[in-house]
Structure 1
Amino acid sequence: MKPTVHDIAAQAGVSLATVDRVLNARPGVRAATREKVEKAIAALGYVRDVSAANLAKGRVYRFVFLLPDNDNSFMRLLRAEVSEAAARAARERIQIECRTLPPFDAQALVAALTRLGAEKPDGVALVAVDDPCVGLAVAELAEAGIAVVTLVSDLPGSRRNHFAGIDNHAAGRTAASLLGRFLETGPGEIAIIAGSLLVRDHRERAEGFQAVMRADFPHLSLRPVLEGRDEPERVAALVTALLAERPALAGIYSLGAGNRGLLRALGSGVRPAIIVHELTPTSREALQAGLIDAVLNQDAGHEVRSAIRVLKALADGAAVVAGQERIRIEIFLKDNLP
């Protein structure tokens, strides 16, 4: 049978009230007594049923997601996944709120994090903007005992607890390996379209892509990165101007969003080889129609569920299962669409 609090009390020679205070990290227990109880817990192999304890106390977890309000398919999908997760999590006594912010706006993100520091939720998940001020705001949450998970775009070097997202440097390298193989027949120019290099995921994808292209495919030259801010109209204007200037462009790597604009700008002539990110209705249709060549995808639902699991584990003081939380890079061609 599993050991109980009664077994701990008997092993340590203390009262049930003392065991309860130690298990819940409450004051009023002498250091020597606390040590006896902890040794009894270890000797018996006692594992606390956190769910039962929280139910008995009527505890409700409160997590807040801070997401960009971009009008692109992936961010809409991410917000929808948070809404669906919130409906499911309510049955597990988890309250989830989603707040939207202007995209790529470090000051708006800092202001939102500062407000949350005063509200003191159990945890916060955010799409990070790589700015020192954001790192300081995350540190203030950590000082207040609030768990922080970055989502999609990371903030390494900060005091965030976990990153729920793909290895974006590897994603960029993968895109380069694919596009380079698609264009092995001769020299040509490659365009890179980002949303904004202010966010680490876009910057890491660009860096990984450029490194592999220069090392493994020197016959292909790289144009300067264009920033479309994940806005279809802006991306359409950039690509239209680019193709007017470089009608023989060999390839395009769209590492952000706004691909509706990219596709509108292609026209009906000979098109470059194209790789984009995220399997959305737009990219799926374009892949099936042969307008783009490959899609690199991250599972938005997995990222949201992972963030929630990690925040709950951190709130409970439990371990995070690294293998379960690893977000993988998916590669889709028209032949393997799910």
Structure 2
Amino acid sequence: MGRFLGGRTGHLAMVVGSRSYRGHEEREMGFRSVLNEEFPNLTVSSAVEINDEPDVSYIETMKALHNEPELLGIYCVGAGHSGVARAIREARPNRKPVFICHDLTKDTRGHLVDDLLDVVIDQNARLIAEQSVIRLLGSIASSAPYLTRKFIEPRLIFRENVPVQ
């Protein structure tokens, strides 16, 4: 987010699926930590928990865009991306905020193509599931004490590199 904004100073909004999900909590903490350390010119002025409800993320994003017409960016931690995209489309701010979310899906792919979304942090859930099954089956079939582990790196997906379906 900070790199996208190129040294600008201002406010960001965060849409958190649920802080009861450890992954969402860790994403929020990591985001805030990097902002504090590397981009002190950016502050999170709005962080709402939406319980992964797109209609709630829509309402909260509309509020944020109305309350802060110069909002620089929105980070969606959970599954509220469709509500955020809908709000950006309908509100038509003078300058579209940078919008970052997680997981490449049919919807996020469309938001990238429509230029509503700037980056998808994709953790490749399908590959993670496949590797889990392979490890499980491998542990049953093998007498080796430890099976090799493959690290699955997250991918950054932009409009320019959206993989084909």
TM-score by length of 1: 0.45
The residue type equivalent to 1:282 in the other structure is D
Q: Tell me, in whole angstroms, the C-alpha distance in 2 between the residues paired with 1:211 and 1:269.
A: 28
Query: Structure 1 residue aligned with 2:4, among 173, 178, 182?
Result: 182
Residue correspondence of structure 1 range 149-298 to structure 2 within 5 A = 179-266=1-88, 267-270=91-94, 271-298=96-123
Deviation at 1:185, TM superposition (A): 4.2
The residue type equivalent to 2:111 in the other structure is A
Change (3 A) 1:224 1:315: farther
For structure 1, the residue ranges without an aligned partner over 5 or more in a row are 1-178
Q: Which has the higher contact order (CA 8 A, sep 6+)?
A: 2
Q: Tell me, in whole angstroms, the C-alpha distance in 2 between the residues paired with 1:263 and 1:336.
A: 19
Query: Structure 2 residue aligned with 1:320, among 128, 147, 150?
Result: 147
Percent of aligned positions that are identical: 32
SS in structure 2 at match of 1:292: coil
Runs (4 or more) in structure 1 with deviation over 4 Å come to none
Q: Tell me, in whole angstroms, the C-alpha distance in 2 between the residues paired with 1:290 and 1:334.
A: 7
Deviation at 1:312, TM superposition (A): 2.2
Structure whose alpha-carbon radius of gyration is higher: 1
The residue type equivalent to 1:320 in the other structure is L
SS in structure 2 at match of 1:248: coil
TM-score by length of 2: 0.88
CA contact (8 A) 2:14 2:77 kept: yes
Deviation at 1:296, TM superposition (A): 0.6
Aligned residues: 158
Per-residue deviation, residues 37-77 of structure 1 (Å, max 9, x unmatched) = xxxxxxxxxxxxxxxxxxxxxxxxxxxxxxxxxxxxxxxxx
CA contact (8 A) 2:17 2:52 kept: yes
Q: Tell me, in whole angstroms, the C-alpha distance in 2 between the residues paired with 1:237 and 1:203.
A: 22
Q: Which structure has more helix as a fraction of its residues?
A: 1
The residue type equivalent to 1:259 in the other structure is H
For structure 2, the residue ranges without an aligned partner over 5 or more in a row are none
